């Protein structure tokens, strides 16, 4: 079975640009969460979606948005990129009634 897949794996963007990151959850998982991991820190919660509805949002500015599609895949969008948005963006899926996630390998975003 395929795990959580994320694309692209690496991305370089210029300040002020917009970026879209994609995630496909494990088959049967209807919940998708997004995390940002800055070097030297733990993953920080950005969003959680279940059945296309936003169920949770972390302490991130409105430049960050996400959505979930009928097939439960998800996109994370970041507008007006700042240098500080450079990080590893992790997608995770789970069965909502269960604790714990399965993570993808992440998208490494570099803003220059």
Partner 1 sequence: DQQVKQNSPSLSVQEGRISILNCDYTNSMFDYFLWYKKYPAEGPTFLISISSIKDKNEDGRFTVFLNKSAKHLSLHIVPSQPGDSAVYFCAASARTSYDKVIFGPGTSLSVIP
**Binding positions for partner 1, rule: CB under 8 A:** 4, 31, 33, 35, 40-45, 48, 50, 55-56, 58, 90, 92, 96-106
Neighbours of 29 (CB within 10 A): 19
Q: Could you tell me the smallest distance in angstroms from the CB atom of residue 16 to partner 1?
A: 28
- Smallest distance, partner 1 to C-beta of residue 88, A: 9
- Comparing CB distances to partner 1, the nearer of 28 and 42 is 42
Q: Which is nearer to partner 1, 79 or 86 (CB)?
A: 86
Residue number, 3 or 79, with CB nearest to partner 1: 3
**Pick from 46, 49, 44: which is nearest to 63 by CA?**
46
For residue 80, the minimal CB distance to partner 1 (Å) is: 26
Of the two residues 80 and 96, which places its CB atom closer to partner 1 in the complex? 96
| Shortest separation between residue 85's beta carbon and partner 1, angstroms | 19
107-111 and 10-13 as β-strands: parallel, antiparallel, unpaired? parallel
Task: Give Cα separations from 71 to 21, 34, 52, 68 (angstroms).
Answer: 16, 17, 9, 8
């Amino acid at each position: 079975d395929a795990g959580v897949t994320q694309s692209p794996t690496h991305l370089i963007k210029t300040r002020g640009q917009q970026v879209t990151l994609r995630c496909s959850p494990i088959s049967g998982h209807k919940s998708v969460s997004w995390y940002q991991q800055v070097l030297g820190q733990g993953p920080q919660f950005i969003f959680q979606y279940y059945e296309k509805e936003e169920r949770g949002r972390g302490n991130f500015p409105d430049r960050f948005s996400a959505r979930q599609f009928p097939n439960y895949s998800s996109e994370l969008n970041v507008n007006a990129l700042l240098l500080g948005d450079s990080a590893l963006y992790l997608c995770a899926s789970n069965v909502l009634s269960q604790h714990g996630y399965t993570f993808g390998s992440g998208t490494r975003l570099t803003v220059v």
